[in-house]
Each structure stands twice: as structure tokens, then as C-alpha cells.
């Protein structure tokens, strides 16, 4: 590229086959994939190209670590590296995927790192590939000012029978597509985004009937697993993440345990400021708390989780019913019936969920048992949606309104 450009004359580049000398004593050169040969080098700038192909097996991850260590030694910390990549494939465990996940950790405050700028041009998640107008608009959004690209020609590649839809989304729309066993695809979840979704309205403590009527769902851990509290609005089924407690990335995560006091305060605050009419909680690790929540709030709850307990729902002991609820939630997402506000933490948990077929149907779970990619906010959403479904099926809200109306003389 440099041999045929004005840079040779205007800048004075000395272009060779394996290096380019630049005025002032610097040089540009390619390096091999062998990390050991690069240890100790002192670059001022590095380009890591096509990092969606850099994996542990081909030495790419080791090379990326060496390059970053070398750059860190620069004077005043001024050296930088840029990754140029297509959308990564989730679950392929590449450098590009690691960088994306590190960026999310920084944005959400789970990491103390600050040194990543993530810049990605992607087509909107709801693009329907079968709709040519939507496809062309998506391509225009993804390619931006790359005016040399013939978008009509790209569209023909998308419609080529040999191009899988997920590959078209990844390489032409620059969308991060679902892993092979993903429970829900990113574009399916994102299609439910409502930009102007009405937020939850909170009342003053003690005036809970003035707040939004909701059902709560809770799924908790103690050390490694996340703990999540979700409110689902009865009127439209929209989920809102009220609390998410997760093990921090890096050294600060050593010996971490969830702050149980803060979790309890979040639940109590939800009851103090929202019109909570149902509350389903998984019991694992929180058995004592589910009993306390039952004793304290059962008079306000219009339905019971089970005939034995107002709040406790053992997801391990009610697998058949839970799987049916999982399939109903999945269908709601596919049909565009899960309006959400795009909360990045909630979205991350939905994207982490993997299909887990069993004898009752298809449920969801983590990538692996010890995976750091958690799904507890999905479980909390599921429980809240189950509670909402029970409220709607039993018609108890109308009965409550009738009682309240008679009391005040309507």
C-alpha cells in the first residue's frame, strides 16, 4: 500500500519488503506470531490486525500480552496499540472477545482499568435481513463513509444461499452474533429495545400504592455467582434491574462476598417505594431471607409462589414448571413482547445465557459451571415474569381495585 501511495515522496518513506524506514530514525515492521521473539522490544505503536482470529491455540493471545507489556514500558506511558477487527464470535475465546468484555467491565464499573477506547460501527440490532430496505439501511450504517464499497454488491453476498445469516450479520453488518448454543441472539434481544420506554415511578417511602405496580424476581449467590433483583412492570411486562451484585474483576475480586445487608436494603426499598404485588425468589443460599420476606410482606402480595410459601420458588425442585416459564420468556423475546430500556448489565446476562435442553424442554444456563459469564439477572427476570403471569392469570388486581374503590366510596 505504501509503495503505491504519495507517502513515499511526500513523507520520504524508504519502503522495503520487510520494513519501512521513516524520517527521524523510526521504522515500521511486521512481526511474527511468536511471542517469545518479541519479549523485551520497545515499540511506540502497535497494530494488532484481525484479532477475532487471535486465539490461545495459534499463539495470538500470548503475542497480545507481550505487545501490551512492551508498550507499557514506553516513556511517560505514551505508547498505544490499536486492534482492527471484525465483530468477534462469542465463545471463540479470542483477543477481540477479551477486549470487548474488558470494555464492558470498565463501562459497568466492574474493573479498575481505564485504558480501553472501544469504537464500533454496527447496524441496528433489529435489521430484518429479508427486508431489502432494512438491509441497505443497515449496511449504510455499518460502512459509514467507506464510499468505495459497493453496498448493492454486499447485499448480493448477503442473499447468496451459501452465506449463513449469522455470518452476514457478523461480517457485513458488524453485529456481534450469537454463539452456536446461545439461548437468545443479540439482534433478537435488541429488537425489543424501546428508546422512550417509560421508567419506573417511585413513591415516597410509606406511600407505596402511588408507585408503579410490579412483580419482583430475585436470584442470589454468595461468593462467585451474581445476585440480582429485577422488577417487572405488570402493565407491559418490562423488566428493570433494581440491583446487581457481582464479583469484581481483577485482584479486588479475591475473597469477595456479596454484601447481604445491601441486598436486603434493596428489597426493602423496593417494597417501600413500589406497589409490589408478587415476589418470587429462588431459595438457594437465601433460605432464611425468603422466610423473612414472607413474614414481613405476605399481606401485600396477592399471589403465592407455591401453596407452601408466598415467596420461595425452588428452581431446582420445580424444574418442569420453570422450563415452561423459560420457554415462554424466550417466545416473548422472539415475538417482541419484552420491552426493555437497554440496560447494559441486564443485556450482558441475557447474552451470556446458553441453551440447556433437558427432558422437559429447553432451559438456559452458564457457558460452563465455573464460567465468569453470569446469568443470574436472567433468572431474576424469569421469576418476576412468572409472578406477573400468575397475577394476570388470577385476575387479582381487578379484585383489589374493586375492594379499594368500595372503601373510598366509588
Give the distance between the most distant pair of CA atoms in the chain.
91
Instruction: State in Å, rounded, how far the first CA of the chain is from the last one.
Output: 80
pLDDT band at residue 408 using 50, 70 and 90 as cut-offs: very low
The string of pLDDT tens digits covering residues 86-122 is: 888 887 889 999 999 889 888 887 888 888 999 989 8
Domain ranges of the chain: 31-107, 123-175, 208-407
Centre a 10 Å sphere on the Cβ of residue 289 and count the other Cβ atoms it contains: 19
Are the beta carbons of 89 and 52 closer than 8 angstroms? yes
d(CA 370, CA 52): 24
Amino acid 405: pLDDT: 41
For residue 309, give every residue at least 6 positions away whose Cβ sits within 8 Å of its Cβ, in sequence order, or none.
Answer: 290, 294
Give, in order, the Cα–Cα distances in Å from 319 to each of 357, 363, 403.
12, 9, 36
CA atoms within 13 A on the CB side of 165: 9
Q: What is the mean pLDDT of the chain?
A: 88
pLDDT band at residue 409 using 50, 70 and 90 as cut-offs: very low
The string of pLDDT tens digits covering residues 254-285 is: 788 999 999 999 999 999 999 999 999 998 88
85 three-state secondary structure: coil
pLDDT band at residue 72 using 50, 70 and 90 as cut-offs: confident
Are the beta carbons of 390 and 217 closer than 8 angstroms? no
Are the beta carbons of 170 and 176 closer than 8 angstroms? yes
Above 80 in pLDDT, residue 30? yes
Q: Any idea which residue has 505503536 for its cell?
A: 45
Are the beta carbons of 106 and 96 closer than 8 angstroms? no
208: its cell numbers: 407505596
Beta-strand pair 239-245/227-233? antiparallel
CA atoms within 13 A on the CB side of 244: 24
d(CA 138, CA 154): 11
Amino acid 204: pLDDT: 73
For residue 258, give every residue at least 6 positions away whose Cβ sits within 8 Å of its Cβ, in sequence order, or none.
Answer: 220, 221, 222, 223, 227, 245
Determine the Cα angle at 222 with ends 227 and 257, to 5°. Answer: 100
Length of the chain: 410
| pTM of this structure | 0.74
Secondary structure, 3-state, 232-294 = EECCCCCEEEEEEECCCCCHHHCCCCCCHHHHHHHHHHHHHHCEEEEEEECCCCCHHHHHHHH
292: its cell numbers: 423473612
Above 70 in pLDDT, residue 402? no
Judge: domain 208-407, CATH 3.30.420.240. Answer: yes
The string of pLDDT tens digits covering residues 283-331 is: 888 999 999 999 999 999 999 999 999 999 988 888 899 999 999 999 9
- Which of 72-86, 222-236, 383-397 has the least mean pLDDT? 72-86
Amino acid 211: pLDDT: 67
270 three-state secondary structure: helix
Are the beta carbons of 246 and 110 closer than 8 angstroms? yes
Residue 75 Rama label (left phi>0; alpha psi -120 to 50; beta): beta
Which of 392, 380, 321, 335 lies closest to 353, judged by CA?
380
Amino acid at each position: 500500500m505504501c509503495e503505491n501511495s504519495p507517502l513515499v515522496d511526500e513523507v520520504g518513506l524508504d519502503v522495503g519488503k520487510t520494513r519501512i524506514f521513516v524520517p527521524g530514525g523510526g521504522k515500521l515492521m511486521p512481526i511474527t506470531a511468536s511471542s517469545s521473539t518479541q519479549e523485551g522490544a520497545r515499540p511506540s505503536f502497535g497494530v494488532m490486525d484481525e484479532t477475532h482470529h487471535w486465539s490461545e491455540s495459534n499463539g495470538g493471545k500470548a503475542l497480545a500480552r507481550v505487545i501490551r507489556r512492551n508498550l507499557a514500558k514506553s516513556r511517560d506511558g505514551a505508547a498505544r496499540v490499536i486492534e482492527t477487527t471484525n465483530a468477534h464470535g462469542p465463545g471463540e475465546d479470542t483477543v477481540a472477545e477479551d477486549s470487548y468484555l474488558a470494555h464492558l467491565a470498565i463501562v459497568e464499573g466492574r474493573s479498575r482499568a481505564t485504558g480501553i477506547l472501544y469504537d464500533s460501527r454496527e447496524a441496528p440490532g433489529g435489521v430484518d435481513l429479508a427486508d431489502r430496505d432494512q438491509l441497505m439501511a443497515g449496511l449504510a450504517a455499518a460502512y459509514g463513509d467507506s464510499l468505495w464499497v459497493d453496498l448493492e454488491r454486499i447485499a448480493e453476498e448477503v442473499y447468496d444461499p451459501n452465506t449463513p445469516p449469522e455470518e452476514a450479520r457478523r461480517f457485513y453488518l458488524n453485529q456481534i452474533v450469537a454463539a452456536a448454543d446461545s439461548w437468545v441472539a443479540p439482534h433478537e434481544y435488541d429488537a425489543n429495545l424501546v428508546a422512550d420506554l417509560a421508567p419506573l415511578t417511585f413513591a415516597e417511602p410509606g406511600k407505596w400504592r402511588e408507585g408503579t405496580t410490579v412483580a419482583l424476581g430475585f436470584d442470589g449467590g454468595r461468593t462467585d455467582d451474581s445476585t440480582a433483583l429485577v422488577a417487572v412492570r405488570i402493565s407491559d411486562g418490562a423488566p428493570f434491574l433494581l440491583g446487581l451484585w457481582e464479583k469484581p474483576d481483577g485482584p479486588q475480586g479475591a475473597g469477595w462476598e456479596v454484601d447481604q445487608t445491601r441486598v436486603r436494603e434493596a428489597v426493602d426499598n423496593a417494597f417501600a417505594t413500589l406497589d409490589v404485588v408478587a415476589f418470587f425468589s429462588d431459595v438457594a443460599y437465601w433460605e432464611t431471607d425468603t422466610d423473612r420476606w414472607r413474614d414481613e410482606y405476605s399481606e401485600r402480595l396477592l399471589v403465592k409462589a407455591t401453596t407452601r410459601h408466598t415467596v420461595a420458588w425452588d428452581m431446582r425442585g420445580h424444574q418442569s414448571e420453570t422450563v415452561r416459564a423459560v420457554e415462554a420468556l424466550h417466545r416473548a423475546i422472539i415475538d417482541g413482547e419484552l420491552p426493555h430500556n437497554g440496560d447494559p448489565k441486564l443485556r450482558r446476562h441475557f447474552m451470556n445465557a446458553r441453551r440447556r435442553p433437558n427432558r422437559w424442554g429447553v432451559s438456559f444456563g452458564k457457558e460452563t459451571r465455573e464460567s465468569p459469564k453470569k446469568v443470574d439477572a436472567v433468572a431474576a427476570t424469569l421469576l418476576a415474569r412468572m409472578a406477573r403471569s400468575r397475577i394476570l392469570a388470577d385476575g387479582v388486581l381487578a379484585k383489589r381495585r374493586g375492594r379499594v374503590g368500595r372503601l373510598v366510596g366509588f
